[in-house]
Amino acid sequence: MFQSDGRNTWEIIQQATGGDTRAFRMLVVTHQTFAFRVAFRMIADEQDAEDIVQEVFIKLWSNLKKYRPENRFTTWLYRMVVNQCLDFMKSRKVQQRSRNKNLDEMINHPTTISPDEELQNRELMKIVHQAAASLPPQQHAVFVLRDLEALSVDEVCEILSMSSGAVKSNLYHARKTLSERLKSVYQIPDNKSYEV
Amino acid sequence: MKCKEAEQLIYLYSELDMDEKRLLDAHVASCQQCGLIATSFGLFGEMLMKARTHEPAPANAAQLTSRIMEQVHSGSYTSRKNHGLMLPAYWFRVAITITSLILAIAFGIESSVDAYKVSQQQWEVSAPATQAHPSQYWQARTQRNKPASLYQQYRKGNAIRSNETKTIYTDEQI
């Protein structure tokens, strides 16, 4: 099966590099959900995340020859998705203000969320992503990779081409900002449902 | 450990080694202010864990795959890179800009030449023979060997024209 990193993925990439679109389709099917998840956590918008995934895979198709098997394919893909997202974020600075306004409305005008745990978590995720979108791009990328994707500091350093010190510094500022910004969301009694 | 340092370490707790964690734990246990920050950050961590359990996925994965593969099959990207049949957008814009500049400069030069020819013809018809064309004066100013004579010629011609104009509009003649 061609499901994860390793020899099989390398074989598929070799086939796709030779122009085999069926092999490339297999790569897309296997990794598009992963790419979408990262993009969505960076952008906090489904449509934009899908567009980014599409652009990333088109770039991947034309850059497959550059892939080296000594690197993990997912690390390479992470880097492509994150860079694409950072480029996108630079181009939508104006829209950012309206997103911040939406987040303030979500936090300051409470509506009780369904007691269903899955729905609660989905709403929480939405709030966290919206809040994270207000961070500076580098802090945002470090926060998503380390705290939401749960990658190691070394992996984050490799993906973002940053030193360990820079990753930790960005992480400190991101966590501090978000924990202060979302205090009204997470500081609630255990026996009550979330109010956001 | 001072509170300022402790605060920084609280936000990086998961990145600390065992010794650092032990030192921080001891400080937090004895400092109420840092204890509050640690508790608050702990709740934030729990919220992140819950938020992380919901993994976003594309609304229609099959449709997304189809969209990607359509673009791959159309070959627009590979043909740009490998065969150079189509110019990438950036170079296309550069080419358009350069072409526009060349056309603008060429048109400008042609218009200037035409205007110069017309003005020279008009000058030849209207100006007295003794007077030099203004362009000749400026041309002469750049050639240091004979600025004075042409300048004088130009001034003299202007003086003649000026006198002629004055004589045309004298009260006696009107």
- CATH of residue A29: 1.10.1740.10
Q: What is the predicted pLDDT for the residue at B35?
A: 92
How many inter-chain contacts (A to B, CB under 8 Å) are there? 111
Q: B13 pLDDT exceeds 60? A: yes
Q: Which of A27, A31, A57 to mutate to test the interface with B (most CBs of B within 10 A)?
A: A57
Same domain, B132 and B98: no
pLDDT tens figures, B113-131: 888 888 777 767 766 555 6
pLDDT tens figures, A147-188: 999 999 999 999 999 999 999 999 999 999 999 888 887 775
User: How would residue B81 be classed by pLDDT, with cut points 50, 70 and 90?
Assistant: very low
Q: Which of A17, A87, A128, A129 to mutate to test the interface with B (most CBs of B within 10 A)?
A: A128
For B1-25, letters b (16+ CB in 10 Å) and e give eeeeebbebbbbbebeeeeeeeebe
Same domain, A51 and A98: no
> For the residues B77-106, what does the mean pLDDT come to?
67
Distance from CA of A165 to the nearest CA of B (A): 11
Same domain, A80 and A105: no
Q: A127 pLDDT exceeds 50? A: yes
Same domain, B114 and B145: no
H, E, C per residue of chain B: CCHHHHHHHHHCHHHCCHHHHHHHHHHHHHCHHHHHHHHHHHHHHHHHHHHHHCCCCCCCHHHHHHHHHHHHHHCHHHHHHHHCCCCCHHHHHHHHHHHHHHHHHHHHHHHHHHHHHHHHHHHHHHCCCCCCCHHHHHHHHHCCCCHHHHHHHHHHHHHHHHHHHHHHCCCCCC
> For the residues A47-53, what does the mean pLDDT come to?
92
Q: What is the predicted pLDDT for the residue at B65?
A: 92
User: How would residue A101 be classed by pLDDT, with cut points 50, 70 and 90?
Assistant: low
Q: B70 pLDDT exceeds 50? A: yes
Given A91, A106, A127, the domain boundary residue is: A91
Same domain, A62 and A123: no
Q: Is position B41 within any domain?
A: yes
For A101-135, letters b (16+ CB in 10 Å) and e give eebeebbeeeeebeeeeeebbbbbbbbbbbbbbbb
Same domain, A71 and A112: no
Q: Is position B61 within any domain?
A: no
Same domain, A19 and A107: no
Q: Which of A85, A107, A125 to mutate to test the interface with B (most CBs of B within 10 A)?
A: A125
User: How would residue B174 be classed by pLDDT, with cut points 50, 70 and 90?
Assistant: very low
B126 touches chain A (CB under 8 A): no
Higher pLDDT, residue A192 or A42: A42
- Dist. CA B30–CA B28, nearest whole Å: 5
Same domain, A81 and A16: yes
Distance from CA of B99 to the nearest CA of A (A): 28
Given A58, A91, A124, the domain boundary residue is: A91
Output A106-114 pairs: Cβ under 8 A, ≥24 positions apart.
Answer: A106/A130, A106/A196, A107/A182, A107/A184, A107/A185, A107/A196, A110/A195, A110/A196, A111/A195, A111/A196, A112/A193, A112/A195, A113/A193, A113/A194, A113/A195, A113/A196, A114/A193
Tokens of B149: 């004579």
Higher pLDDT, residue A9 or A50: A50
Given A59, A91, A123, the domain boundary residue is: A91
Same domain, A148 and A189: yes
Q: Is position B31 within any domain?
A: yes
Which chain A residue has its CA at the smallest distance from B56's CA? A37
- Dist. CA A24–CA A37, nearest whole Å: 20
Q: Is position B74 within any domain?
A: no
Same domain, B40 and B12: yes
Distance from CA of B55 to the nearest CA of A (A): 7
Q: Are B4 and A168 in contact (CB under 8 A)?
A: no
Q: Are A120 and B50 in contact (CB under 8 A)?
A: yes
Q: Is position B35 within any domain?
A: yes
- Which domain covers residue A2, as residue numbers? 1-91
Same domain, B118 and B139: no
User: How would residue B162 be classed by pLDDT, with cut points 50, 70 and 90?
Assistant: low
**Domain total for chain B?**
3
- Which domain covers residue B151, as residue numbers? 128-174
Same domain, B134 and B149: yes
User: How would residue A68 be classed by pLDDT, with cut points 50, 70 and 90?
Assistant: confident
Q: Is position B49 within any domain?
A: yes
Q: What is the predicted pLDDT for the residue at B12?
A: 94
Report CB contact under 8 Å: B41, A175. Answer: yes
Q: A136 pLDDT exceeds 60? A: yes
Looking at mean pLDDT, say which of A46-60, A91-105, B120-134, B153-167 comes out highest: A46-60
Q: Residues 6 or more apart from A182 whose CB is under 8 A from it? A: A107, A127, A128, A131, B44, B47
Q: Find the chain A residues whose C-beta atoms sit closer than 8 A to any C-beta of B.
A: 21, 24-25, 28-29, 32-33, 36-37, 40-41, 46, 49-50, 53-54, 57-59, 61-62, 118, 120-122, 124-125, 127-128, 147-148, 150, 153, 168, 171-172, 175-176, 178-179, 182-183, 185-187
Higher pLDDT, residue B157 or B80: B157
**Domain total for chain A?**
2
Q: What is the predicted pLDDT for the residue at A171?
A: 95
**Residue A160 burial (10 A CB sphere; 0-12, 13-18, 19+):** buried
Same domain, A66 and A110: no
Same domain, B164 and B139: yes
Q: B148 pLDDT exceeds 90? A: no
User: How would residue A31 be classed by pLDDT, with cut points 50, 70 and 90?
Assistant: very high
Percent of chain B's residues with pLDDT above 90? 25
The CA distances from residue A22 to A16, A61, B72, B74, B78, in Å, are 8, 12, 11, 14, 16
Same domain, A98 and A157: yes
Report CB contact under 8 Å: B58, A32. Answer: yes
Looking at mean pLDDT, say which of A3-12, B19-28, B163-172 comes out highest: B19-28
Asked whether this complex has an ipTM greater than 0.85, the answer is no
